[in-house]
Amino acid sequence: MQRSLLPRNSANKAFLGSQEGRLDSSPCIGGVNQQQIEDDMLLSGKTAVLSGAGNVEGIGFATAKAFVEAGARVLLVDINEAELAGAAERLGDAAVYVCADVRSEDSVRTVFDRVRSEFGRLDILLNNAGITQPRKTVDITRDDYDAIMDVNLRGTLIMTQQALPLMAAGASIICIASIAAQRGGGLMGGPHYAASKGGVASLVKAIARDVSPAGIRINSVNPGVIMSKMTRDFYTDEITAKVLPTIPMGRFGEPSDVASACVFLASDLSSYITGSAIDVNGGMHMN
């Protein structure tokens, strides 16, 4: 069952009410006014849609959590409704969700119909929905190719197309690409996965030329090896022993590492950045 999102002022009242007797008598915390804390949050008052956000071990959920902690209201999108419901529950009253398939224009339309009714506008879009397949070149079937391209590349385009009419100057679109597109794969996904993420990177630059004159920014993030549900099982002790020494920072990434970059790109701190990419890979690949 989908949960209605409290208006931000109502959410604040609910929070303050739960702290009655403490905050009411002490409007300042450490000499800083509570309202000032909220005003200083990077995404205070902003609204966001995040695809691929149902898996609580993944980049999408980690970014949703970071957005909420920075003051945003979020709408989570994924194809698995059971996972979505659990993810939204973890985030509390700042989150709602819509189960949708990013490959389908009709399905995605339900997402942005909900945005109109809940938010009235959209400030941030995170295109994170994606799949991968470990395939050798000669083993990639047409169905394999179509599955990867439909979710990773077509899904990014469809979500962006339907988000733009709800966006105004100052809005930000963030697309998750991959180190695989930069170094020609070779980690987990097959060549068709690398190609799909290369397509995302190129799409971002082309869309930036189209929408940036209206004050809308679009950028990509290239994660390296990020330990999530999708990668954890693949990186056996043997594979880890081979890959980890190639990362100068000496560790694999966590979803929160990518989320931090997304918060920056979603915020006004990146107001003059568009058509660009941030690498989050511990130095594994350097341009």
Whole-angstrom CA distances from 148 to 171, 177, 200, 202, 230 are 28, 13, 12, 16, 14
3-state secondary structure of 60: helix
Q: Per the structure block, which two tokens stand in for 122?
A: 């959209």
Q: Per the structure block, which two tokens stand in for 255?
A: 């979803």
3-state secondary structure of 245: helix
Contacts of 57 (CB under 8 A, 6+ apart): 228, 229, 232, 255
Q: In the chain, count of helices (H) and strands (E)?
A: 12, 9
Q: Which of 121, 129, 43 is nearest to 83 (CA)?
A: 129
Answer left, alpha or beta for residue 74, where phi above 0 means left and psi between -120 and 50 means alpha.
beta
Active site residue 193: yes
> Of 97, 193, 235, 272, which is the active-site residue?
193
Amino acid letter, residue 254 = E
C-beta separation of 159 from 102 below 8 A:
yes
C-beta separation of 75 from 114 below 8 A:
yes
Alpha-carbon distance of 48 to 123, in angstroms, equals 6
Whole-angstrom CA distances from 113 to 98, 128, 153, 161, 256 are 10, 20, 22, 14, 29
C-beta separation of 236 from 244 below 8 A:
no
Alpha-carbon distance of 121 to 228, in angstroms, equals 31
Query: Cα-flanking dihedrals φ and ψ of residue 278, to 5°?
Result: -115, 125
> Catalytic residue numbers?
193
